[in-house]
Amino acid sequence: MAGVNTDLRTLRNDRFELVAILRTLLKEKHRLSLSSEEGHDFELLRVESSRVYLSLPQADFTLPATLELSAEGREAKIIFTLNAVREEQTAAGTILTGDLGDEFNYFQRRINLRVPLPLWKNFTLTLPLSGFSAPQPFIIYDFSVGGLGVYTPNPLSQKIKVGSVFKKALLSLGEYGEFKANIEIIALNELEEELPEYPGYQQRMSVRFTNLSLINQRNFQKIAYAFEVNFKRKR
């Protein structure tokens, strides 16, 4: 089953992540074109630290102090601002340079493959709860780049409720590795009966990943496809 996120708009305040996204888009395409609100197109030449280097547009162009630009790749579209725009003379001719702002808008256009997982694999999610020396892990029963479905024991800590956010929750995925990610609980429901394989597990919980790094997005996408191949029709 696949979940589709189309034009999911989020405002981010992380210049380093913006640099990473631009570099990823630049690697995806031989030529990466950036568009401005005024209808001008610029080729992204390179990104160094937080400075961007662009080609001059072909049409008549008046140099502005700032530029609002958009870029699109296979999985995302971003809109960001370039400040202190100026011309720079190089051996190849005149180019534009500017400094990236901190904030940018991110539109995710990715199909998240959601894969049911066999309970006998015992993949788990452990929350970082203070006051618990060894919190009981939750059993992961489905997985996607967007989030997880888990079975939980009952009763739960009062800290675990819909809307709760946990930083650096631990995903243990066996031979596929261990990962830490920030999560938010979006649903919590009682099961009609507890799991035979795991006595005491009587609830189903849905969580979504928040502020997932680009590295973990790529890792989780690869793992989801590996799960689809390895566990298809093997509940």
Whether a cis peptide bond, with omega within 30° of 0, leads into 155 is yes
Range of the domain at 128: 114-231
DSSP 175: G
108, containing H or E segment: strand 93-113
CB proximity list for 74: less than 8 A, separation 6 or greater:
28, 109
Domain identity same for 19 and 79: yes
pLDDT at 6: 43
Among 110, 139, 156, residue at a domain's last position: 110
pLDDT of 59:
64
Q: In the 8-state DSSP scheme, what is residue 229?
A: H
Same domain, residue pair 6 and 106? yes
Q: What is the pLDDT of residue 50?
A: 87
Those residues whose C-beta lies under 8 Å from the C-beta of residue 91, and which sit 6 or more positions away, are none
Residues 61 and 122 in one domain: no
CA distance 176 to 144: 14
For residues 148 and 179, membership in a common domain is answered with yes
Could you say which residues of the chain have pLDDT below 50? 1-7, 132-134, 233-235
9 and 53 belong to one structural domain: yes
Domains identified in the chain, total number:
2
The CATH number that applies at residue 11 is: 2.30.110.10
The pLDDT of residue 170 is 94
125/197 same-domain check: yes
Write down the pTM of the prediction: 0.53
Residue whose entry in the numeric block shows the structure tokens 């072909």? 58
Could you tell me if 71 and 142 lie in one domain?
no
Q: Do 119 and 223 belong together in one domain?
A: yes
Predicted confidence (pLDDT) per residue in 130-153, tens digit: 654 345 789 999 998 889 999 998
59 & 131 share domain: no
Last residue in a domain, options 110, 140, 166: 110
Say whether both 59 and 140 belong to one domain.
no
The Cα–Cα gap between 199 and 110 comes to 37
Domain boundary among 61, 87, 110: 110
* CATH number assigned to the domain comprising residue 150: 2.40.10.220
User: What is the predicted pLDDT for the residue at 209?
Assistant: 92
For tokens 């202190």, the residue is 84
Rounded to 5°, the CA angle 164-13-185 comes to 15
